[in-house]
Amino acid sequence: MLVAAVGIMGSGLVAWSNSSFSIAQQKIANSTDSKINMIRENFVLEDVWFYSQGPTDYANVTIRNTGNVAIKISHIYVNNTQVWNTGQMINATEAETIRATFNWEPNNLQSIWVKTTRDSQVKQIWKS
Amino acid sequence: MMARRSWARNQRRGLSTIIGAVFMILIVASALNVALWTMREQDRVTESILEKTNTNLNRLNEDLNISDVRVSNGKMNLTLSNAGGAASYLKSLYLVNETSNQQYRYDIDITVDGRESVSNVGQSSPAITLKDNTDYSIKVVSQSGVTTTTNISPVSSVGLSMSLIVIPPTVVPGQNVTLLFAVANNSTDSFIPASITPTLSKSCSPSCQFTDYVTPQSSYLKNGNTVFFKWVFKADGADGVVMTFNASLSNAKQGNFVIEKGLLQTIKSSEASEIFVGSTLLAKPEVFIIAPGPFGEAGNNLDKAYWAIAIANPIDIKMNISSITINLFSSNTDSSHKPLTSSTCGITGVTPNTGWSCPHDGTMRWSSPVSPIMIDPYETYTFLAKVKPGSINSVEPALLISVTAFTNLGQFAKQGYATNMFATAAPIAQVYLTDTNVATTAVTDSHVLGNIKMNSGQPRRINVTIADFETSNDAASRILAGGLLIINVPKNFTNITIPDQTSTGFSSVTVLPTFADGTTQIRAKFSENIGDPVGGGVEGKVFYFDVTAPTVAISRTYVMHTFLDGFANTSPQFEVDAFGTFGILVCTSGC
């Protein structure tokens, strides 16, 4: 009787622990992968070109993915104001140009802040 | 039976403990596994961090620099060097036309190894068209995000440092001038894309002529560098002409040029007929000699020959002469062989008329340390004395002459001339300037001249005397007819005119074509013996010609070499080789 009870309880406890460990393991794996990918993300603002077409002011923000994983640009802020959030995939070692629309004045310093979906960030000052 | 049942119950009770322990072991093992797996995951994170750190360090090992940008065949020709240790993969090139404010982006795929460079970027794949008269900025980006930038500025938009050097700054007319034009690009971040072409404009006031020999080619000028351009040309013109040189570059920025001046100056010392004494002698007086040849006969203790030193002051301050010496050297060392004997020289001063002596055999000296002779700037003074020949025991074919002048600017000497002496009766042949064309007057002391004056650009008659100062009636002491009086008229003296002088003993006169050095030679043959007046005595003949002096801005002394080429009526015939080097002072006015 006691043996049976121990067997039942032990089996249950082992099953619960395995399940619990598995869930934790999955969470840790996801978290680790996310952190690793974030660490492996690397990009630079290759160029920012300010120009106007008609009455509208633009900036071509060229971002080069210098890491070895693909990145997805999620947001671009200029002077802490979001000017673009469409999302743009950039493969490893490649560069993409994103056109952002915002008003700028010549010879002013503009703070360009670029974020990825993994929350990697680059913030640089460019002169318009 | 009861004991066996109790033993069996005890056995089952131990079994449950074992089963429980097994479950515990399983749970602990699982937990341990999870812990180990978590550590491995942490290790992966650490590895990623290390990998990223290495990547970032590799970026630091890329050191890109644009070392040159040119426009070749209308396309960009960029040279990029990587001073770092790691290879760099170039991926993007940005070109901004700063004039039109247009940006162009090019994908490139070029690898530059560490400590290597790559050229011809922009010539193909992609071929980037550039204008060489437009401002551009260029940026190159590597795969790792390393960036290098530079600018292109055409020569029309950049002010370059320029300097021009005239060598020499004071040029003798007809001589070569070298111009060195240095152009420096002091900009450190801007390239001149095309080769620069130097330009030079030359002008003179008043006019002059230039003959180009060397002209420079175009050259590239990298930033931080200096390039030299060289011109060599001949400058010819009147004395005192100011040359103005304006050097710049083709399409240079407005106002980017340099001006330098030079001076054409015939002479500040003196000008010999066949040797142009130039700027190297600017501070050195020139010493010239008038000497007899032959120096008469040995043992004549009666007649005297004229010896002179003409000293030209080449600078614009007064020069004081305190002493001069004339030394005669013979290779005959016999004690009885004395071309000039101290005790019997009988030296007589003409100009100046005091202060002369023969301090020892073979030496004539004038000295006046208390009252030196002062020569005005650019003028000439002739120290003239007459002296009896000495006694020699054999014919002296070449008696070396050395003259020395002691001045407040230093002492100056001249050698390389010679006279001769005959052992028995022979003429004392002389050639010198005079101020009269009357032969009997020309042989007197006050008419024996070593220098004359002319006004700038004005004509004048110049009288040259040939004389024999040996007074005996001995037929051997005559200068034979057929000899030549040779006069080298200095450069820039023009309009040489020779009146007919057949009746005065010059039967044939030739003016040779002007030599390459600008001098002109007059050759006058005397048709009569000289030195044979009835009853003995001195005899001279005066040859004269008209000439126009050069135009000078300041007073200048030119030197006219004159000499005789003939024979004495000795047995055997002995060379007549008297010579005189005469200073002709050309003044601006008032001479």
Same domain, B284 and B297: yes
Query: Starting from the edge strand earliest in sequence, which strands make up the sheet with B258-264, in order?
Result: B170-171, B258-264, B242-249, B198-205
Q: Domain of A73? A: 42-127
Supply the CATH number for residue B216's domain: 2.60.40.10
pLDDT band for position B207 (50/70/90)?
A: confident
Same domain, B286 and B431: yes
Dihedrals phi, psi of A65, to nearest 5 degrees: -85, 105
Same domain, A64 and A24: no
Query: Is residue B225 in a domain?
Result: yes
Q: By a Cβ cutoff of 8 Å, what residues of chain A touch chain B?
A: 2-3, 5-7, 9-11, 13-14, 17-18, 21, 24-25, 28-29, 32, 35-36, 39-40, 42-44, 46-47, 49, 51, 60, 62, 64, 66-67, 93, 95, 97
DSSP percent split of chain B into helix, strand, coil, nearest 5: 15, 50, 40
The pLDDT of residue B5: 59
Q: How far is B103 from chain A (nearest CA, A)?
A: 8
Q: Where are the alpha helices (DSSP H) in B378-524?
A: 439-442
The pLDDT of residue B6: 60
Q: Do B139 and A51 touch (CB under 8 A)?
A: no
Distance CA B187, CA B50 (A): 41
Task: Flag whether residue B49 sits within 8 Å of chain A, measured between CB atoms.
Answer: yes
Same domain, B525 and B495: yes
Q: What is the mean pLDDT of chain A?
A: 92
Tell the residue number behind the tokens 């002319």, with chain if given. B454
pLDDT band for position B277 (50/70/90)?
A: very low
Cα-atom radius of gyration of chain A, to the nearest Å? 24
For residue B300, pLDDT over 80 is answered with no
* Residue B296 near residue B428 (C-beta atoms within 8 A): yes
Same domain, A7 and A19: yes
Same domain, A46 and A33: no
pLDDT tens string B479-492: 999 999 999 999 98
Helix (H, G, I), strand (E, B) or coil at B389: coil
DSSP secondary structure code for residue B43 in this structure = H
Give contacts of B30 with chain A, Cβ < 8 Å.
14, 17-18, 21
Same domain, B133 and B173: no
pLDDT tens string B513-525: 888 778 899 999 9
Give contacts of A97 with chain B, Cβ < 8 Å.
105
Q: By mean pLDDT, which of B281-290, B427-436, B562-571 is the weakest?
A: B281-290
pLDDT tens string B357-412: 999 999 999 999 899 999 887 788 999 999 999 888 888 888 899 999 988 877 78
Share of chain A above pLDDT 90, in %: 66
The pLDDT of residue B210: 93
For residue B102, pLDDT over 50 is answered with yes
Give contacts of B26 with chain A, Cβ < 8 Å.
10, 14
pLDDT band for position B266 (50/70/90)?
A: low
* Residue A109 near residue A92 (C-beta atoms within 8 A): no
pLDDT tens string B63-96: 999 999 999 999 999 999 999 988 999 999 999 9
**Range from A9-18, A80-89, B295-304 that averages highest in pLDDT:** A80-89
Same domain, B403 and B508: yes
Q: Do B30 and A21 touch (CB under 8 A)?
A: yes
- The residue in chain B having the minimum alpha-carbon distance to the alpha carbon of residue A25 is B34
Question: Does residue B533 have a cis peptide bond before it, meaning omega lies within 30 degrees of 0?
Answer: no
The pLDDT of residue B271: 43
Q: How far is A33 from chain B (nearest CA, A)?
A: 8
Which of A6, A53, A63, A65 is the mutation pick for testing B, counting most B CBs within 10 A? A6
Q: How far is A114 from chain B (nearest CA, A)?
A: 15
Query: Is residue B367 in a domain?
Result: yes
Distance CA B432, CA B350 (A): 14
Task: Flag whether residue B33 sits within 8 Å of chain A, measured between CB atoms.
Answer: yes
Domain count along chain B: 3
Last residue of a domain, one of B152, B187, B219: B152
State the average pLDDT over residues A27-55: 91
A-B C-beta contacts closer than 8 Å: 99
Tell the residue number behind the tokens 């000495």, with chain if given. B390
Which of left, alpha, beta for A79 (phi over 0: left; psi -120 to 50: alpha)? left
Same domain, A65 and A119: yes
Q: Domain of B75? A: 64-152
For residue B8, pLDDT over 70 is answered with no
The pLDDT of residue B4: 58
Same domain, A65 and A11: no
Last residue of a domain, one of B152, B181, B203: B152
Same domain, A53 and A97: yes
- Beta strand extents in B220-359 (DSSP E only): 226-237, 242-249, 258-264, 286-291, 305-312, 319-329, 348-351, 356-357
Q: What ipTM score was computed for the predicted complex, to two decimals?
A: 0.86
Q: What is the mean pLDDT of chain B?
A: 87
Same domain, B257 and B142: no
Query: Is residue B406 in a domain?
Result: yes
Question: Does residue B513 have a cis peptide bond before it, meaning omega lies within 30 degrees of 0?
Answer: no
For residue B1, pLDDT over 90 is answered with no
Share of chain B above pLDDT 90, in %: 53
Q: How far is A80 from chain B (nearest CA, A)?
A: 24
Domain count along chain A: 2
Last residue of a domain, one of B152, B185, B215: B152
